[in-house]
């Protein structure tokens, strides 16, 4: 199978490299010319620019995005190779083999990042012999096997979970109820929904860490934490972590202006927090393509699930490829189910009876202003009728 794919790629590449006039793209711009006049962009130019561009087909073993981070065996290998030549990897996704080869031939990518055959791990252009040599010298089957074992590890969160509810008789969910009450107003949520999401993320363990690198009570990814101004030494601090997550949830919420029903929007925001906003938009595009209202979660959830199927994640309307959709679908359902349980058992007064958190100005750009108390927030109304997701 690999030999057949490799032969096909070579034939397609040769057929693309004709003498007819073509447009050649590089990171320095574009120009018109013939194949004989094309710009040379080999290893030296890549090192000077500091960016190595790969192109691949999305998939669990090649490349996919999860919570804004790249994953997949071929992606991990390409990252290591890029680092070995002093460059940063930029990965592009093609919808099919022909598109992948076109990007390579037109210099929109430096190499095809897909497993071919032993000795020939990736495909390059014929006019980049130095890049070809660097790849061949770097390539080692044992490296691929090591990374394969690492990427096949179970997708788990290392945590020591607390009870789902700390004191049901007195309506206390967790030791962090006061923080949920304080910061839920940022996103306009019922504080018990934020608590339900936190349990889904970390089991109320402030030191929790996931296989993907997410950290703390609300499992912030390193890149997300950095964007929110959370330093590494603060990411496990409960108040900082929850406050940052609320800001992030607010940002995601603002990205769904087309979903006007607040109860519907909650499910889309939760799905985006877990699986990524772009994947949710892909699932919405699939729902619309197949005649469903893409603004209702019960219509979109089945297509979240189908983003793990090549027949769907390589559909032309899908821009961001593979997603392990069963995880995101379960995340939304379980969080909303737990919220319903908390609404029936936890009272707002419970949180105000807990010790108040410290009133300090968090030392970062996002939380430089004074932290408001719960009484100062006027949250957006959230209806009680949350749509039940159908797992088709």
Q: What would the two tokens of residue 366 be? A: 């996002």
Q: By C-alpha distance, which of 174, 177, 178 is closest to 166?
A: 174
Residue 220: burial class (beta carbons within 10 Å; 0-12, 13-18, 19+): buried
Nearest to 104 by CA among 7, 12, 2: 12
SS3 120: strand
Beta strands in the chain (DSSP E): 22-26, 29-33, 51-57, 64-66, 69-71, 88-94, 111-112, 157-158, 209-210
If DSSP codes are grouped into helix, strand and coil, which group holds residue 325? helix
Which residues are registered as beta bridge partners of 92? 55
User: Do residues 131 and 78 lie in contact, with contact meaning Cβ atoms separated by under 8 Å?
Assistant: no
E strands, 113-253, are 157-158, 209-210
Distance CA 12, CA 46 (A): 24
- Are the C-beta atoms of residues 49 and 27 closer than 8 Å to each other? yes
Contact predicate 263/383, CB 8 Å: yes
Cα-Cα end-to-end distance for the chain: 33
Helices (H), 157-205: 177-187, 191-202
Q: Which two tokens stand for residue 75?
A: 């992606």
Parallel, antiparallel or unpaired: strands 157-158 and 209-210: antiparallel
Question: Catalytic positions, please?
Answer: 201
């Amino acid at each position: 199978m690999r030999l057949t794919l490799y032969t096909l790629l070579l034939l397609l590449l040769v057929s693309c490299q004709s003498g007819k006039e073509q447009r050649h793209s590089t990171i320095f711009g574009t120009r018109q010319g013939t194949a004989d006049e094309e710009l040379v962009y080999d290893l030296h130019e890549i090192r000077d620019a500091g960016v190595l561009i790969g192109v691949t087909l999305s998939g669990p073993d090649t490349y996919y995005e999860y919570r804004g981070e790249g994953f997949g065996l071929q992606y991990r290998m390409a990252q290591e190779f890029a680092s070995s030549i002093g460059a940063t990897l930029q990965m592009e996704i093609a919808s099919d083999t022909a598109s992948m080869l076109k990007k390579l031939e037109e210099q929109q990518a430096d190499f095809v990042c897909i497993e071919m055959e032993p000795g020939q791990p990736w495909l390059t252009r014929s006019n980049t012999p130095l890049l070809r040599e660097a790849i061949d010298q770097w390539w080692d089957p044992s490296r691929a096997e090591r990374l394969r074992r690492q990427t096949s590890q179970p997708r788990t969160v290392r945590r020591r979970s607390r009870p789902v509810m700390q004191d049901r008789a007195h309506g206390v969910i967790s030791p962090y109820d006061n923080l949920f009450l304080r910061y839920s107003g940022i996103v306009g949520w019922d504080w018990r929904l934020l608590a339900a999401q936190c349990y889904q993320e970390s089991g109320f363990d402030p030191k929790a860490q996931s296989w993907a690198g997410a950290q703390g009570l609300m499992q912030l990814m390193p890149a997300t934490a950095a964007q929110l101004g959370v330093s590494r030494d603060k990411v496990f601090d409960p108040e900082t972590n929850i406050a940052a997550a609320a800001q992030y949830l607010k940002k995601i919420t603002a990205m769904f202006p087309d979903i006007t029903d607040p109860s519907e929007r909650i499910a889309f925001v939760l799905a985006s927090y877990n699986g990524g906003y772009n994947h949710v938009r892909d699932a919405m595009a699939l729902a619309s393509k197949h005649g469903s209202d893409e603004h209702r979660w019960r219509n979109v959830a089945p297509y979240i699930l189908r983003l793990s199927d090549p027949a769907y994640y390589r559909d032309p309307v899908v821009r961001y490829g593979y997603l392990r959709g069963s995880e995101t679908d379960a995340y939304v359902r379980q969080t909303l189910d737990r919220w319903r349980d908390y609404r029936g058992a936890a009272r707002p007064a419970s949180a105000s009876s807990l010790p108040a958190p410290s009133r300090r100005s968090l030392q970062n750009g996002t939380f430089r202003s004074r932290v408001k108390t719960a009484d100062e927030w006027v949250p957006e109304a959230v209806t009680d009728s949350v749509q039940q997701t159908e797992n088709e």
